[in-house]
Amino acid sequence: MFHDTNSPPGVGSDFLVKVLRASRAWCLVIACFVFCVAQLCALSIENPHLLGFVSGLSGLGYGFLFGVFPSIVAESFGIHGLSQNWGFMTLSPVISGNIFNLFYGVVFDSHSIVGPDGERSCPDGLDCYRNAYFVTLAACGVGIVVTLSTIRHQYLQRLREEGKGAAED
């Protein structure tokens, strides 16, 4: 039923689909929650030595995301178009990452002081970035809502298909 070489998200998604008959997208909900926790940590950690928690949780979220997304793409669009569709899917973090980085810079610049040599510094500590983390936390919330609505849509579609199959028998 499971392959030994699968990543934990892959094994988890196989378990969800084959044993629990649930949507593979539940792994995306887990990834979204991990990203939310990372953003909450970023909003509260003031000691720079503890920022590894933010990085580690972000890496874990991306691991879940990229560990299960190929299966979701293949399941949704078919195996024959996987390479093209997966290529487009992997472009989305490039676009959103650049947008969030630009916003992060705008937030930092709005709190920073320009020195006589042109160098920027921000004496506000965590407030230098706080608004950027609120925006990324909101984006994580949007991701959870979109994923849950997709799961609901898949569930209702499966019920309709099972109902048609029962009616045909």
- State pTM to two decimals: 0.79
How many domains in the chain? 1
Question: For residue range 1-60, what is the model confidence (pLDDT) as tens digits?
Answer: 444 444 555 556 667 666 666 678 888 898 999 999 999 999 999 888 999 999 999 999
Question: For residue range 61-118, what is the model confidence (pLDDT) as tens digits?
Answer: 988 888 888 888 888 888 888 888 888 888 888 888 899 999 999 999 999 999 899 8
pLDDT of the residue at 107: 94
Q: Which structural domain, as residue segments, surrounds residue 88?
A: 8-168
Task: Tell whether 3 is covered by a domain.
Answer: no
pLDDT of the residue at 169: 52
Residue 97, both tokens: 């990452």
Phi first, then psi, for residue 121 (nearest 5°) are -145, 155
Task: Tell whether 2 is covered by a domain.
Answer: no
Task: Tell whether 84 is covered by a domain.
Answer: yes
For tokens 């950027």, the residue is 132
**CB-based burial, 55-90: b 16+ in 10 Å, e otherwise:** eebbebbeebbebbbebbbebeeeeeebeebbeebe
